[in-house]
Amino acid sequence: MKAVDISFFQNLLGKDNAYFDEAHKLAYSYDATRKKFRPDGVLFPRNEEDVSKILKYCNDNLITIIPRGAGSGFTGGALAINGGVILSFEKHMNKILEIDLENMVAVVQPGVINIDLQKAVEEKGLFYPPDPASMNYSTIGGNVSENAGGMRAAKYGITKDYVMALRAVLPNGDIIRAGKRTIKDVAGYNIAGILIASEGSLGIITEITLKLLSKPKLKKTAMGVFDSVNSAMNAVYKTLASGVNPVAMEFLDNLSIKAVENQYKKGLPTNAGAILISDVDGDVMEALNSDLEIIEKVFKENKAIEFVVAKDEKESANLWFARRNCSQAITVYGSLKINEDITVPRAKLPELLEKIDEISKKYDIKIPCFGHTGDGNVHTNVMVDKNDENAVKKGYAAIEEIFKITVDLGGTLSGEHGIGISKAPYMNLAFSDEEMNLFRQIKKAFDPNNILNPYKMGL
Amino acid sequence: MKAVDISFFQNLLGKDNAYFDEAHKLAYSYDATRKKFRPDGVLFPRNEEDVSKILKYCNDNLITIIPRGAGSGFTGGALAINGGVILSFEKHMNKILEIDLENMVAVVQPGVINIDLQKAVEEKGLFYPPDPASMNYSTIGGNVSENAGGMRAAKYGITKDYVMALRAVLPNGDIIRAGKRTIKDVAGYNIAGILIASEGSLGIITEITLKLLSKPKLKKTAMGVFDSVNSAMNAVYKTLASGVNPVAMEFLDNLSIKAVENQYKKGLPTNAGAILISDVDGDVMEALNSDLEIIEKVFKENKAIEFVVAKDEKESANLWFARRNCSQAITVYGSLKINEDITVPRAKLPELLEKIDEISKKYDIKIPCFGHTGDGNVHTNVMVDKNDENAVKKGYAAIEEIFKITVDLGGTLSGEHGIGISKAPYMNLAFSDEEMNLFRQIKKAFDPNNILNPYKMGL
């Protein structure tokens, strides 16, 4: 970074908000992909005006900007793969600005941590449903930029379903608003809609207005045990198509069950082909019981060998324990976990899991699967020894086959993690040249000098 | 239109799908605004390939294209204000292609009429909630292009909440897909999100994949009678903030009530300041009754002088009669109805209605109001004598003041009708130069030669 650039940033923000030392470059060089790329500097804007001035300067001087939430992304969206300055909101722009009880809306800055927002609104009887697994550290800005999902997506949808309005800064420094604190708004193009999930490549989001719901008063948890993955996957889509609307319908396959049991000794059914864990919620117990009856009926029609309803919160937490701990537990199967978040139309789940099993056998690699099957999202984990070059190569070949199958089944490369750099090589499996060209035209419309998070998403 | 152009279209589509006679130009010159602009021709593409060839030719030859659903729009979105050819989907591209029970998805062509889709999916136990007042004739393509709302939006949201995927043709003839038949998809920019509500100005939608729900088994209707509009508006937002989630919470003011009663003699409370009509639905009667108890409680806390729950479908239909017929009935107040669909954050409804009352007094004009207050949307109707030039001028001055107030209250120019040409003059009240500039850049990215529905939305 040129001395003139460094002094511009330090004059604008103060030396304690603009760092160019090696320690900061190192601290902001990684994310959850474990890949490392050193940025040229780390900036902590104090407010939207700072962001505007930074962007204008960077646009005029062709300096790359990489916006960063908590760096918890799985696809490298926050990595400075080609240098540039990191823009972090964790120090200053991390406030819950308003919780509007009358309109059931929260207004937050991008650096607010997901769980802090959840707790703040729940104290007031309200509810912010999106709950990515990273919710204890990931930020709302990051959640919006990747359109994060979570456990409750089957019933409540994902981040995009809660974004009512955004404020953002364009590369030229223009500050724009998009959307309103209204349920409906059809004036002008849906700018908020395209900024969501754009991985920080179109504009820098500086304020987020989120829709809130009333917090459901009651919740119950059930678990079904199945002899095979196939039975469980049939049970998932048939339950959802039966008219019941569970909060979650989460899945663990035999390898995932065994890994958790091996580590924690919880008495899990290690001979089961799969388990499904499902929550239902609402304000009236009769409605929850009616939902559970339907779920039990459809599970048993689809060869569930056991069906348990938790009697209380402790039993519920016990049922959820396996799901919450499997991602870490399955590392027992290999020192390198190539994990993807493929998503298919729900009725294609049985076929998807069959094909993954075939690939596992073909390459002789363990591929434990679990995930948010209630919305068609399966976390597939290709486990290999990171020091075995041949195994790693086979692992990536297996992943490419899995992506191809997913797309053939009408699915998507990513249900919730985004593309970043990790999945960029596979974009051509999912998108035509014409579609990629349109993405490039849109990128150019927002960011003609390509200063915002370039080279992500295969662009 | 040049002879060479006419023969290109007739050769491509056949003479019975490409019309350039005066009768067709007249038949396709109007919409619900009652404004008239003759197009240069009317085309009925048979399939997506036709659309692609038409667009490529028009792009190469700089011929304007105006896509058209049923011509039921209130803002002139389907009008050929500067010539060009109309692209109509009503003749061929009007099929329900698939109702996928397993994934709860429908795939339709743009010319399918809303009510036909609703009926087809309800026969199979499924439910497509968006129900604009025009549902008996408006098309899904038009609904998507304007992001239509409806009576059920308070609980179920609007058209955009049901669009999972689109196929579309870009001006250069490129055919693209956007979105998947999956609940989640974060690969690539959200192209479907920006095509929705773009009023046919970015691409021509050729296929729409819609999310369906299970049809709720039970429904109940209630009506609250209030002595003043202010009490009713307080009741609306306080009910919604209480945690209950009614399907609809529709509003009629005193002028609207009187107009319906005057015409139909239904025994409506003509002395009431306002009535609210609310539906609740679900699968378990206890849950519906719990909702109705909360609504009754909040209504009465907010000075409801009467609260009635319909005993059966006939009584329910009777309660809804006033709401369904008020739009037409209020024409008794003037031969010109300047009707707008302003929308504010719900808690701002009391202030909005107070200010509209002040404007009504200031200009000495009747402004009956009714609408979807459950989502903050008020249909304001400035009623004047169309032959009284001075009254018409006052009417438009009143409308401009209403728009200003709406924007000041954090609201939007349009909740569901779109901008088209009718509201284009007011875009500068709602959007900054920077925001309008961004809209223009996006338009250019999709449509560099400005052939698709130009000059709409103030662009």
pLDDT tens digits, B142-201: 999 999 999 999 999 999 999 999 999 999 999 999 999 998 999 999 999 999 999 999
CB contact under 8 A, A176 and B435: yes
Q: What ranges in B29-113 are assigned the alpha helix state H?
A: 48-61
Pick the residue of B182, B218, B441 with the most A CBs within 10 A to test the interface with A by mutation: B182
**B residues 291..330 contacting A (CB < 8 A):** none
Interface residue A212 vs chain B (CB under 8 A): no
CB contact under 8 A, B415 and A198: no
The alpha carbon of residue A215 is apart from the nearest alpha carbon of chain B, in Å, by 8
R_g of chain A computed on alpha carbons: 23
- The strand ranges marked E within A188-237 are 204-211, 213-214, 218-226
The alpha carbon of residue A445 is apart from the nearest alpha carbon of chain B, in Å, by 5
- What would the pLDDT profile of B191-225 be if each residue is shown by its tens digit? 999 999 999 999 999 999 999 999 999 999 999 99
d(CA A386, CA A391): 8
Query: In which residue ranges of chain A is pLDDT below 50?
Result: none
Structure tokens at A377: 């999202």
3-state secondary structure of A230: helix
d(CA A235, CA A225): 11
Structure tokens at A107: 């207004």
d(CA B291, CA A241): 25
CB half-sphere exposure, A409, CA atoms < 13 A = 28
Q: Say how many C-beta atoms besides its own lie within 10 A of residue A399's C-beta.
A: 22
The third-level CATH classification (topology) of the domain covering B96-214 is 3.30.465
3-state secondary structure of B223: strand
pLDDT above 90 for B81: yes
Nearest to B283 among A189, A202, A290 (CB): A290
Nearest one of A17, A27, A25, A53 to A41, comparing CA atoms: A25
Structure tokens at A453: 């998070």
Interface residue B409 vs chain A (CB under 8 A): no
Interface residue A439 vs chain B (CB under 8 A): yes
Strand partners, B340: B380
Provide the pairing of β-strand B248-253 with B304-309.
Answer: unpaired
B/e letters for B81-115, b = 16+ CB within 10 Å, e = fewer, are beebbbbbbbebbbeeeebbeebbbbbbbbbbbbe
pLDDT average, residue stretch B327-333: 95
d(CA B331, CA A69): 55
d(CA B99, CA B117): 10
Q: What pLDDT was estimated at residue A1?
A: 87
Q: What pLDDT was estimated at residue B183?
A: 86
pLDDT average, residue stretch B138-144: 98
The alpha carbon of residue B212 is apart from the nearest alpha carbon of chain A, in Å, by 10
Structure tokens at A27: 């601290």
B/e letters for A53-86, b = 16+ CB within 10 Å, e = fewer, are bbbbbbbeeebbbbbbbbbbbbbbbbbbbeebbb
Q: What percent of chain B has pLDDT over 70?
A: 100
Look up residue B17 and give its amino acid.
N
Q: Supply the mean pLDDT for chain B.
A: 96
Instruction: Return the domain boundaries, chain B.
Output: 3-91, 96-214, 218-408
d(CA A304, CA A319): 16
Task: Locate the chain B residue with the closest alpha carbon to A438.
Answer: B446
Q: What pLDDT was estimated at residue B284?
A: 95
Strand partners, A220: A280
CB contact under 8 A, B412 and A180: yes
The alpha carbon of A366 is separated from its chain's Cα centroid by a whole number of angstroms, namely: 24
Judge: domain A3-91, CATH 3.30.43.10.
yes
Angle between helix A48-61 and helix A3-13 axes, rounded to 10 deg: 170
Task: Locate the chain B residue with the closest alpha carbon to A215.
Answer: B243
d(CA B133, CA B76): 17
Strand partners, A275: A225, A252
Nearest one of B366, B382, B335, B339 to B75, comparing CA atoms: B339
Q: Say how many C-beta atoms besides its own lie within 10 A of residue B49's C-beta.
A: 14
**Which residues of chain B does A437 touch, with a Cβ-Cβ cutoff of 8 Å?**
174
Could you tell me the pLDDT band of residue B410, with boundaries at 50, 70 and 90? very high
Interface residue B123 vs chain A (CB under 8 A): no
d(CA A6, CA A290): 63
- Domains A217-314 and A334-448 alike in fold: yes
Could you tell me the pLDDT band of residue B77, with boundaries at 50, 70 and 90? very high
- The strand ranges marked E within B120-203 are 126-127, 163-169, 175-179
DSSP H or E segment with residue A108: strand A105-108
Interface residue B177 vs chain A (CB under 8 A): yes
Nearest to A186 among B176, B415, B443 (CB): B415
- What would the pLDDT profile of A14-68 be if each residue is shown by its tens digit? 999 999 999 999 999 999 998 999 999 999 999 999 999 999 999 999 999 999 9
Task: Locate the chain B residue with the closest alpha carbon to A198.
Answer: B189
d(CA B344, CA A88): 33
| Beta carbon pairs, A and B, within 8 Å | 283
Could you tell me the pLDDT band of residue B374, with boundaries at 50, 70 and 90? very high
DSSP H or E segment with residue B337: strand B336-340
Provide the pairing of β-strand B41-43 with A336-340.
Answer: unpaired
DSSP letters, A174-206, are -EEEEE-SSS---SS--HHHHHTTSTTSS-EEE
Contact A309, A265 (CB under 8 A): no
Interface residue A449 vs chain B (CB under 8 A): no
Q: Which CATH class is domain A217-314?
A: alpha beta
Angle between helix B3-13 and helix B48-61 axes, rounded to 10 deg: 170
**Which residues of chain A does B411 touch, with a Cβ-Cβ cutoff of 8 Å?**
180, 182
CB contact under 8 A, B103 and A346: yes
Residue with tokens 């900007």: A65
- What would the pLDDT profile of B345-372 be if each residue is shown by its tens digit? 999 999 999 999 999 999 999 999 999 9
Contact A373, A233 (CB under 8 A): yes
Look up residue B236 and give its amino acid.
V
Q: Which one-letter DSSP state was computed for residue B222? A: E
Interface residue B235 vs chain A (CB under 8 A): no
Nearest one of A97, A264, A168, A159 to B183, comparing CA atoms: A159
Longest dimension (CA), chain A: 70
Q: Which CATH class is domain B218-408?
A: alpha beta
ipTM of the predicted structure?
Answer: 0.96
d(CA B413, CA B432): 14
DSSP letters, A6-57, are HHHHHHHH-GGGEE-SHHHHHHTSB-TT--B---SEEE---SHHHHHHHHHH
Residue with tokens 């109705």: B292
User: In whole angstroms, how far apart are CA A416 and each of A108, A111, B390, B458?
Assistant: 21, 19, 57, 36
Look up residue B68 and give its amino acid.
R
Cβ-in-10-Å burial (0-12, 13-18, 19+) of A34 comes to: exposed
Contact A171, A203 (CB under 8 A): yes
Look up residue A342 and give its amino acid.
I
3-state secondary structure of A168: strand
d(CA A145, CA A418): 9
CB contact under 8 A, B214 and A245: yes
CB contact under 8 A, A430 and B187: yes
Longest dimension (CA), chain B: 70
DSSP letters, A342-395, are -B--GGGHHHHHHHHHHHHHHHT-B--EEE-GGGTB-EEEEEE-TT-HHHHHHH
Q: What pLDDT was estimated at residue A243?
A: 87
Contact B72, B140 (CB under 8 A): no
Structure tokens at A202: 């179109």
CB half-sphere exposure, B436, CA atoms < 13 A = 15
Interface residue A125 vs chain B (CB under 8 A): yes
Strand partners, B412: B343
Interface residue B218 vs chain A (CB under 8 A): no
Look up residue A89 and give its amino acid.
F
Q: Say how many C-beta atoms besides its own lie within 10 A of residue B390's C-beta.
A: 9
d(CA A200, CA A237): 34
d(CA B187, CA B170): 20
Nearest to B416 among A184, A434, A437 (CB): A184
Judge: domain A334-448, CATH 3.30.70.2740.
yes
CA dihedral (B294, B225, B332, B321) positive or negative:
positive
**Which residues of chain A does B378 touch, with a Cβ-Cβ cutoff of 8 Å?**
none
Task: Locate the chain A residue with the closest alpha carbon to B429.
Answer: A187
Nearest to B287 among A185, A194, A282 (CB): A282
Q: What pLDDT was estimated at residue A131?
A: 96
d(CA B340, CA B400): 11
CB contact under 8 A, A414 and B186: yes
Nearest to A284 among B102, B290, B417 (CB): B290
Interface residue A6 vs chain B (CB under 8 A): no
Look up residue A435 and give its amino acid.
E
Task: Locate the chain A residue with the closest alpha carbon to B284.
Answer: A287
CB contact under 8 A, A419 and B344: no
CB contact under 8 A, B243 and A432: no
pLDDT above 90 for B243: no
